[in-house]
A and B are shown apart, each in its own frame.
Chain A
Amino acid sequence: MKAVVTVIGVDKAGIIARISTKLYEKGVNILDITQTIMGDIFTMIMLVDVKTKETSFSELVTEMKALGEEIGVEVTVTREEIYKSMHRI
């Protein structure tokens, strides 16, 4: 299933490395990334492919959130449908 990972927080070294390493460890394939710095705020959005056979989705949500707290940024992982259904007809 496709999911969206968002990472928002104060910019520092290693955010992308640590997030993408974790995703790799969980067997998650990154399909697309956009990343900008707005002011001091680091904003990254990733579209990823989660193979639920290998990873339970809720486990991934919990672990990514915990990693975010460790790094000091806010990480969300949600299925992409919520964005599509809200904004696209």
Chain B
Amino acid sequence: MLDTYEILETIKMIKKENLDIRTITMGISLVDCSSESVKKTCENIYNKITKYAKDLVKTGEDIEKEYGIPIINKRISVTPISLLTPVNKKEDYVEYAKTLDKAANDLGVNFIGGYSALVQKGYTDKEKMFIDSIPMALSVTSRLCSSVNIGSTKAGINMDAVYHVGKAIKECAELTKDNNAMACAKFVVFCNAVEDNPFMAGAFHGVSEGECVINVGVSGPGVVKCEIEKYPDADFLALAEIIKKTAFKITRVGQMVAKEAAKRLNVPFGIVDLSLAPTPAVGDSVAHILEQMGLEKCGTHGTTAALALLNDAVKKGGVMASSSVGGLSGAFIPVSEDAGMIDAAKCGALSLSKLEAMTCVCSVGLDMIAVPGDTSAETISAIIADEAAIGMINQKTTAVRIIPAPGTKKGDMVKFGGLLGEAPVMEVLPFSAEKFVKRGGRIPAPIHSLKN
């Protein structure tokens, strides 16, 4: 017989502490979809996606009901679209974008990711055209997500591409200014992007991946917070143990769901991403975990240390719970999607520079951050370069998802709604980095990239 305590604990985690599976993401390779005409390629894309993912949403819902665990999102990621052919003008890429969006709409998935390019070392004329197409593509679609990888530990940072995406972000904001610059919330710039990430906006199906795969992202900041709450006087070693044990349990559920979904869809199981992903809901915040550890407000001195402990313990706990861990795996700190982060930013405890420091020790980076509408493309590019440098030197993934919402100034709120939440506009430094950003070329790879 099952243990009463264990059953009640599981139910409490789900019902009271917001334990959920954040996403089941099906990765689909579109490598074989290129053909002689844009129209035919679009047809191939649509047919392939709707064939493989036709039961994705239903399967997710069935599992949710049978196992009693909420599965918040069902998503699709595809091969980076910049690789598709033929393309003669940027509008051709936009056609592909519309096709992806239509497929996502028809299937009822929440998001489709992979409108992406990997340009960490250099970029072709086609890829330049692709980056030019991103603002238009994101403004005419609703479920499409886009990402560009502009740096890696192996290749260095493609600063031409950094400036290019900086300008693209400004254009995204301008084109969707009537909708709170929503396009910016669906566009992320990476350094060291991973190929099996199930989380949006950065999910894409890497070129080294197979035909079709199921990746699962777990969640559960609320569960971790409630566990820590029970031990107010635990020292750090004990604290790390508590987090590890909790992360283990959360991940085990993710592993079970991933295996079950893969089996029912008859698709190989890829990875479980062990991330603690917050939502704007009360009780589902990473910032509140840090505050529970003893910080008055997230963002104050000590936050980086607290986050480092949390991130590491989550990985250690999760790694044994799953047969295959991948994706980003760590704690996410998206400002707009985390009630505690929003509060901390509003009251001035959390600044952009503190967030940058925090990204050194956790997964991803400057995520869902609103900055004043008059922030220049050069300043945004410089923020991206800083973040990419952290990723490149520390051999980790970093990302920037920044929203220069037109017409806003420091202290305003930018509302996105749903899981994307709302972001307080944060201050950027008024000093220019224009001359630096415009130098062009590539920041060379660091010495420790030479491992062979």
Contact = CB atoms under 8 A, between A and B. Distances in A.
Contacts of A77: 68
B4 A34 contact: yes
Interface string B62-97: 100111110000000000000000000000000000
Contacts of A86: 6, 10, 249, 252-253, 256
Interface string A49-89: 00000000110010000000000000011111111111100
B7 A85 contact: no
A78 B68 contact: yes
Contacts of B237: none
Interface residues of A, number: 24
Contacts of B8: 6, 43, 45
Given A34-B1, A47-B1, A86-B253, A6 B65 contact: no
A61 B66 contact: yes
Contact of A61 (B4, B10, B65, B255): B65
Given A34-B1, A83-B2, A6 B11 contact: yes
A57 B61 CA distance: 13
B19 to A, nearest CB: 10
Interface string B256-280: 1000100000000000000000000
Interface string A12-56: 000000000000000000001010100000010101000000000
Contacts of A80: 2
Given A4-B7, A6-B7, A58-B66, A82 B253 contact: yes
A85 B6 contact: no
A8 B2 CA distance: 17
Nearest to B320: A89
Given A45-B8, A61-B65, A86-B253, 16 more contacts: A4-B2, A4-B7, A6-B7, A34-B1, A45-B4, A57-B65, A57-B66, A58-B65, A76-B11, A79-B67, A81-B256, A83-B10, A84-B2, A86-B6, A86-B256, A87-B252
Nearest 5 A/B pairs, CB to CB: A78-B68, A85-B256, A87-B6, A82-B67, A58-B65
Interface of A: 4, 6, 8, 32, 34, 36, 43, 45, 47, 57-58, 61, 76-87
24 contacts: A4-B2, A6-B8, A32-B1, A34-B4, A36-B4, A43-B4, A45-B4, A47-B2, A58-B65, A61-B65, A61-B68, A76-B68, A78-B66, A78-B67, A79-B66, A81-B67, A82-B10, A82-B253, A82-B256, A86-B6, A86-B10, A86-B252, A87-B10, A87-B249
